[in-house]
Amino acid sequence: MSDKASTGISRRELLMMIGAMAGSATSYNAMASMGLVEESRFNGPPKLDGDPKGASVLILGAGIAGMVAAMELRNAGYKVKVLEYNSRAGGRNWSIRGGDVYTELGGATQHCEFDKGLYINPGPWRLPYNHHGILDYARRLGVRVEPFQQLNFNAYVHSTQAFGGKPQRYREIQTDYLGHVSELLSKVTQQGKLNEMVSKEDEASLLDSLRRIGALDRRYRYVPGRESSNRRGFQKPPGGGLDARPIYSKDLTGLSEILKSGLWRSIGAGWSTEFQSTIFEPVGGMGKIGEAFGRELADLIEYERKVVKVHQNRKGVEVTYVDPKTDGNPRTVTADYCLCTIPLSVLSQIDLNINPKMQAAINAVPYAAAIKIGLQFKRRFWEQDEHIYGGISYTDLPIGSIGYPNTDYFQPGKGVLLGGYMFGPNAMKFTAMPPEERVKKAVEYGAQIHAQYPQEFDNGVAVGWHRVPWTLGCFGTWTDELRAQHYDDLCQIDHRFLVAGEHASYIPGWQEGAVTSAIDAITRLHHKVINA
Amino acid sequence: MKKTYVKGLAAVLLMAVAGPVLADNAGPSMTDKPTEAASQMPLGEQVYTTTCQECHMPNAMGAEGAGRYPALAKNPKLAAKQYPMVMVVNGSKAMPSFARQLDADEIAAVVNYVRTHFGNNYKDKVTAAEVKAVLPKTGPYEGH
């Protein structure tokens, strides 16, 4: 621990701390304003009472939104048909497993060579406990789930600009940060500088809480000792027998060093509601949910249908589709109503006759760059050598993070890591590379965190979402301004046409957005049909 | 290649926009330096190969799946230099605006690069000053 940090607080350090706290408050407010810290509005399956009298609904897209709608409308007595571009169900609910073949826009084809049972989820990979809707459908479809570790105290936080580029354990950085901040606040409190903000009565409780939360000693100091070592780990941990006496951890990181490192940014990464325990994942890959929906709705879904035109008239809706492989063999199907879950990136290019406001909304939303890279290694060295069982390490390298598998712990044989998960400019840059180059770069960067990478690397796959043929992007990137201008127009029923999907939700990029959007859409549609 | 403050802004913008997913990230990358080969490229080519070709493809032929990315190669719409400039600044449909990810020099360079490559051969150039004139003056994230 640096003398400076234990003996006093510089004005600059205090300002930096306040800045750090204001920063997290700012992002909390930004997220709250987008509804992102709200729990799901899901309140059980929709109750679609009343007779639809044989009304038919054509659903475009067999992703989560389309299949939730198809299942519920079928159960309510509608005639339902689903048209899907791909030859599988699920959409972005998708796992790539050994033996799978994936061809992206531009023609690059990847053959996944993972071992049996190993997979990567290119799209969603987490089911937060408070996303009640998607979890309820997983349960109803008999999809088994297991815990997803978001926060692993023994995983790394890493900056190329700090600690000589050596990755630090989350547990140490988190403990040291909280320790120093608590000590500083204790000092200020004891010096009576909070007089106007904290009553005399509360002062004792505040000090007591700081001592416990900061792992401070009895004199409110963050120093080597039992309290700090119980949190950040011992230099020599307690054991049994003659040589059992523990040695306390002495190398507490100084406050200034932590602040300069920027690693405090990672401390709160798992604290927002979507990342709090408990989070789940389907056993065997996220794609298990889409696959289960596909089996349930096997007689409703028609695959390899590329929609090119949706026109409505007084009597119904006409949808024209072609064969995606040839763009030929146009066919037309009709229905009373059309629920369209096609991503706006694609829908904005389809011939529609809808009201101009809705069309403007469809045209207004850009789609995000994102990329995920799955890397198979010859052994689970992160467990065997570093005792990291699941969770995520964070880095300022372009790969952003490394995700460890949350299943099959201690198994011999190979294992698959999420070797990169990027957004924004880094995702664009990586997606612009050929797939094998993306994998090669992810191995090069990852080797700065795990030295075992070059020796143990086996093979990999990389999915850049701007190159995915059926979404042209990861998710709709709404801003507050775009929502104010277009969101309500997008979600209206236009005569016989309406949309659903994560893009028609305030939970962008999450499956819960697709579920709640679909339920809201079909509930309003049903009301219209019953009262027609 | 990018100025740090521009990148910082881009990161803040993406944080605000992407929210749930980006909350995962440790923070803006500090090591996003061009590779040695890239740094020897002219600026316009650097921007094209690290950004535009993600969707418009290395040969600028675009691609088609359920939807399509238009080809920039031999594209007569590039005849008016304002057209690609405004496209890059404002975005269009699924294409995002690059007004905060790229600076005026980079936008001018890449527009000029595309208009003189891939079978396009237009002599007139876009200047950084012309780009600045159409860049948004203020925005919701300027204060950060």
Chain B interface disruption, residue of A396, A468, A480, most B CBs within 10 A: A396
Chain B residue numbers with beta carbons less than 8 Å from the beta carbon of A305 are none
- Test the B interface: residue of A24, A148, A275, A428 with most B CBs within 10 Å: A428
Closest CA to A375 of A328, A436, A331, A465: A436
Task: Compute the distance between CA of residue A32 and CA of residue B19 in angstroms, rounded to an integer.
Answer: 10
Domain check: are A185 and A312 in the same one? no
Q: Which residues of A touch B26 (CB under 8 A)?
A: 157-159, 262-263, 265-266, 269, 394-396, 400-401
d(CA B102, CA A499): 33
Query: Is residue A342 a contact partner of residue A60, using CB atoms and an 8 Å limit?
Result: yes
Contact assignment for A275 to B24 by CB distance below 8 Å: yes
For the segment A466-486, the average pLDDT, to the nearest whole number, is 97
pLDDT classification of A325: cutoffs 50, 70, 90: very high
Q: What is the pLDDT of residue A41?
A: 78
Instruction: Examine residue A158 and state whether it is found in any structural domain, yes or no.
Output: no
Looking at the fold, whether A250 and A393 belong to one and the same domain comes out as no
Mean pLDDT of A220-241: 97
Q: What's A119's domain CATH number?
A: 3.90.660.10
Residue A513, domain member (yes or no):
yes
* Model pLDDT, residue A327: 95
Q: Please list every residue in chain B whose beta carbon sits closer than 8 Å to the beta carbon of residue A272.
A: 20, 23
Cα A446 to the center of its chain, rounded Å: 20
Q: Please, is B76 exposed, middle or buried when counting C-beta atoms within 10 Å of its C-beta (0-12, 13-18, 19+)?
A: exposed
Is A278 part of any domain? no
Average pLDDT score over residue span A444-465: 98
Identify the pLDDT of residue B137.
Answer: 74
Which tens digits make up the pLDDT trace of A31-49? 444 444 456 778 888 999 9
User: For residue A507, is it within any domain?
Assistant: yes
A439-450 pLDDT, tens per residue?
999 999 999 999
Let me know: does B66 contact A85? Beta carbons within 8 Å. Answer: yes
Residue A458 belongs to some domain of the structure:
yes
Question: Domain check: are A387 and A423 in the same one?
Answer: yes
Asked if residue A420 belongs to a domain, the reply is yes
Contact A158 B26 (CB under 8 A): yes
In whole angstroms, give the CA distance from residue A141 to residue A137.
6
What is the band of A270 on the pLDDT scale with cuts at 50, 70, 90? confident
Query: Quick one: A425 and A460 in the same domain?
Result: yes
How many Cβ atoms from other residues are within 10 Å of residue A161's Cβ? 13
Give the pLDDT score at A73. 98
Question: pLDDT value at position A269?
Answer: 84
pLDDT value of position A435: 98
**A264 & A171 share domain:** yes
Mean pLDDT, residues A328-345 taken together: 98
**Does the pLDDT of residue A274 top 80, yes or no?**
yes
pLDDT(B140) > 70: no
Rounded Cα distance between A319 and A380, Å, is 50
CATH number of the domain within which A232 lies: 1.20.1440.240
Same domain, A79 and A102: no
Pick from A467, A501, A518: which residue ends a domain? A467
Output the six-digit token pair for B66. Answer: 């359920």
**pLDDT tops 60 at residue B99:** yes
Mean confidence (pLDDT) of chain A: 93
Quickly state the pLDDT bin for A290 (edges 50, 70, 90). Answer: very high
Q: Residue A240 domain-assigned?
A: yes
Q: In this predicted structure, which of A195-199, A394-398, A477-481, B11-15 has the lowest mean pLDDT?
A: B11-15
Chain B residue closest in CA terms to A429: B50
Does residue B90 sit at the A interface (CB-CB below 8 Å)?
no
Shared-domain flag, residues A304 and A445 = no
Structurally, how many domains does chain A consist of?
A: 3
User: B122 to chain A, minimum CA–CA distance in Å?
Assistant: 25
CA dihedral over B39, B41, B44, B49, signed as positive or negative: negative
> Tokens 């969770």 belong to which residue?
A391
What average pLDDT does the segment A370-376 reach? 98
The values of phi and psi at residue A202, to 5°, are: -75, -20
Cβ distance B53 to A432 less than 8 Å, yes or no, reads: yes
Last residue of a domain, one of A219, A237, A268: A268
Instruction: Determine, for residues A470 and B65 on separate chains, whether the beta-carbon distance falls below 8 Å.
Output: yes
pLDDT tens, residue by residue, A37-88? 456 778 888 999 999 999 999 999 999 999 999 999 999 999 999 999 999 9
Instruction: Specify whether A222 is located in the same domain as A355.
Output: no
pLDDT value for B39? 67
| Pairing label, strands A331-335, A317-322 | antiparallel
Q: Which one, of A306, A332, A307, A339, lies nearest residue A496 by Cα?
A: A339
- Confidence grade of residue B37 (pLDDT, cut at 50, 70, 90): low
Domain-ending residue, one of A222, A237, A268? A268
Q: Do both A207 and A254 map to the same domain?
A: yes
Q: Out of B20, B26, B67, name the one closest to residue A508 (CB).
A: B20
If asked whether residues A74 and A222 sit together in one domain, one would say no
Burial-class residue A327 by CB neighbours within 10 Å (0-12, 13-18, 19+): exposed
The pLDDT score that the predictor gives to residue A332 is 98
pLDDT at B138: 58
Give the pLDDT of residue A139: 98
Q: Which of A161, A266, A345 sits opposite B94 (nearest CB)?
A: A345
Q: Supply the range of the domain harboring residue A234.
A: 3-29+167-268
Residues A380, A459 within the same domain: yes
Q: Chain A: residue nearest B29 by CA?
A: A396
Please check whether residues A107 and A82 belong to one and the same domain: no
Residue A45 is assigned to a structural domain of this protein: no
Count how many pairs of residues, chain A against chain B, have C-beta atoms within 8 Å: 183
Q: Domains in chain B, ordered, with CATH?
A: 42-134 (1.10.760.10)
ipTM over 0.95: no
Query: Residue A37's pLDDT is what?
Result: 46
φ/ψ (deg, to 5) at A430: -70, -40
